Structure 1
Amino acid sequence: MTATPEQLLALLEAPHWKQPGSTSRRPEGPTAKRTEGQAAVNLHVLDHIAEGHDALARAAKLAKEGTTLAKREALALREGQAMKSEAIIGTHYRVRQMGCPACGCLTLLPKNGRAFCISRHCARAGMQRRWAFRELAFVGPGKVMEIRRSDPDRIPKDARPLRWLVGFFTETGLPVSMSTLRRLASTHDLPHWYNPMNHREHLYAISDVAIAHAQHTRATQRGECAKTSGRPPCTGLADMFFAQTELAATVAEAKKLCSVCPLRQVCLDTAMTRGQVGQHGIFGGLTAGERRALKKGQSR
């Protein structure tokens, strides 16, 4: 049974986790070490505990409101807090069990306090999609994408043997047997390569197999992957749509995604009417400069 957010915070209250070096994260920076010396406690854990109690209190207050949105926000607060606690402890059960909000696959891994989708088919312009834990808990899994296949002439970096993939999907809470993976790979004609370390076994791309696994899970109506609600194509790509430096290639890729988004006009109208005309970023397929020019032309 998965631990509750309260149980995880209670675990972090133990003396072990308050000691310096109890987590992989550095308790303080080099400047603090030179001027103040080694801290007697792990300040990162103490801050997390205080913020956690505040988050759970806000969640309880929202739950009392009784509205559908308030209840959903309360649940997202609780789940996001639990994901943060698990990341500190060194586990990632909740993140691994969540389907990607963009591609629907169970390919999320935690890193630096965020959840990243490791599927190459889900990335855009070489950028992995990522979500804050609270955001991930709020939006939930998205619609599973159609089958995609890697280039059979090149071994991708995420190529792994089937025995490794069995363990990978076991950690998601939706295990699959070796025979089922073989059947899925054969049914969808997924490319494979000889393992240079063991010529008796084949390698398959995680990105290819993950889609087949998600579709199989959806077909059997198990778990969150059964949900089919779609997401805007910009989901999880804040680094692309709000890049500090608007490179031509990045802007072109973002606009390409906007061109097929059913919410493009709604997004643009919102930006034009709610004071976001000059805000940094791409809304409705237009950059800040293009939105200002459009606003200027409309006011004439």
Structure 2
Amino acid sequence: MPATPEQLLALLEAPHWKTPGSTSRRPEGPSARRTEGQAAVNLTVLDHIAEGRDALARAAKLATEGTTLADREARALREAQAMKSEAIIGTHYRVRSMGCPACGCLTLLPKRGRGWCINRHCAVQGRQRSWAFRELAFIGPGAAKSVQRTEQPGPPRDVMDLRRLVAFFAETGVPVVGETIRRWTKAYDLPRWYNPMDHRAHLFSLSDVATAHAVHVGRSQKGECTSASKRPPCTGLHDMFFTGSEDPALREAAKKVCGTCPLRQVCLDTAMAHGDYHQHGIFGGLTAAERRAIKSPSRRTTHTEEERSS
């Protein structure tokens, strides 16, 4: 049974974690820059403990409200706090055991305070999907899709032998033996490549095997993730729809994703109704400039006529 958020905070209260350099992160916080010399304690851990107590207090307050949304938010706060504590300690049980909200695969890895899906079939234009820990804990895993296979002739970057694949899935809490992986590769005709280090063995794409793993996990759970099958395809692609909206290639890729979304019109109507049409980013398949043109067509026409007359 994994440790509770309270137990993880209590563990970080130990003197070992409070000493400078006790974690791989910088021991000095912003306040330490105003002091002379290195701080006598690890301010990163101390700040995390203080923030963690506040987060758990907010979660306890939300739990007393008794509503479904408040309960979900309280659980998300607690899980996110546990994920942050595990990141400092160096374990990532919770992140690794969660399915990707977009593809359902157990391919999430923690990095820079976010959970990143390393499944190549889930990425768009080479952009990996990512979620903040709180967001990841709130929305939960998505429904598993069909088994996918690599079509390129050469080996991709995520090829692994059976031993490494078994070790990878063992860390997710849903282990699988090597013979089962062999059976999947034959049943779904997954591509394989020769192992230059061992010609008697083969290499397989982690992304290919992960999709098969997710399908079989979904079947064993008897459809528990089916309620999450209607999520918009843009989930986890915040970077593409906002910071990447100025890049023409990423902008067109984002619009293409919007074209497959059943909630496209709802997304656009919501943005226009709440005055977000002028905000940066892509909503409903339209950029901020395109939304402004729709919102004020007469103003745009008048402005164009004035430019021509001048």
The interval holding the TM-score normalised by the smaller chain is: over 0.9
Aligned equivalents of 1:298 and 1:3: distance in 2?
60
Measured against aligned partners, the alpha-carbon deviations of 1:95-117 in whole angstroms (never above 9, x if no partner) come to: 00000001100000001111100
Aligned equivalents of 1:137 and 1:245: distance in 2?
27
Aligned equivalents of 1:252 and 1:17: distance in 2?
47
Letter in 1 for 2:134: R
Aligned equivalents of 2:127 and 2:45: distance in 1?
30
Q: Which has the larger radius of gyration?
A: 2
Letter in 1 for 2:39: A
Question: Which stretch of structure 1 is more off in the superposition, 32-41 or 204-213?
Answer: 32-41
Partner in structure 1 of residue 64 of structure 2 = 64
Aligned equivalents of 1:32 and 1:47: distance in 2?
12
Query: Quick check: 2:143–2:225 contact (8 Å CA) kept in 1?
Result: yes
Question: Which stretch of structure 1 is more off in the superposition, 108-117 or 290-299?
Answer: 290-299
Letter in 2 for 1:184: W
Letter in 1 for 2:140: G
Partner in structure 2 of residue 184 of structure 1 = 184
- Within 5 Å, give how 1:1-300 maps onto structure 2: 1-28=1-28, 36-221=36-221, 226-228=224-226, 229-230=228-229, 231-243=231-243, 246-297=246-297
Aligned equivalents of 2:47 and 2:125: distance in 1?
36
Letter in 2 for 1:83: M
Letter in 2 for 1:51: E
Change (3 A) 1:226 1:194: farther
Partner in structure 1 of residue 306 of structure 2 = none
CA offset at residue 17 of structure 1? 0.4
Measured against aligned partners, the alpha-carbon deviations of 1:228-254 in whole angstroms (never above 9, x if no partner) come to: 222211101110000166111000000
Partner in structure 1 of residue 307 of structure 2 = none
Return the TM-score normalized by structure 1. 0.95
Aligned equivalents of 1:246 and 1:93: distance in 2?
36
Change (3 A) 1:264 1:183: same
Query: Quick check: 1:148–1:208 contact (8 Å CA) kept in 2?
Result: yes
Where 2:278 maps in the other structure, the secondary structure is coil
Please, which runs of 5 or more residues in structure 2 have no aligned partner?
302-310
Where 2:199 maps in the other structure, the secondary structure is strand
Please, which runs of 5 or more residues in structure 1 have no aligned partner?
none
Where 1:119 maps in the other structure, the secondary structure is coil
Query: Quick check: 2:166–2:175 contact (8 Å CA) kept in 1?
Result: yes
Aligned equivalents of 2:103 and 2:298: distance in 1?
38
Q: Following superposition, which runs of at least 4 residues in structure 1 exceed 3 angstroms of deviation?
A: 29-35
CA offset at residue 150 of structure 1? 1.0
Change (3 A) 1:215 1:245: closer
Change (3 A) 1:14 1:29: closer
Query: Quick check: 1:152–1:191 contact (8 Å CA) kept in 2?
Result: no
Return the TM-score normalized by structure 2. 0.92
Identity over aligned residues, as a percent?
A: 69
Letter in 2 for 1:111: K
Over aligned residues, Cα RMSD in angstroms?
A: 1.9
Equivalences, count: 298
Letter in 2 for 1:237: L
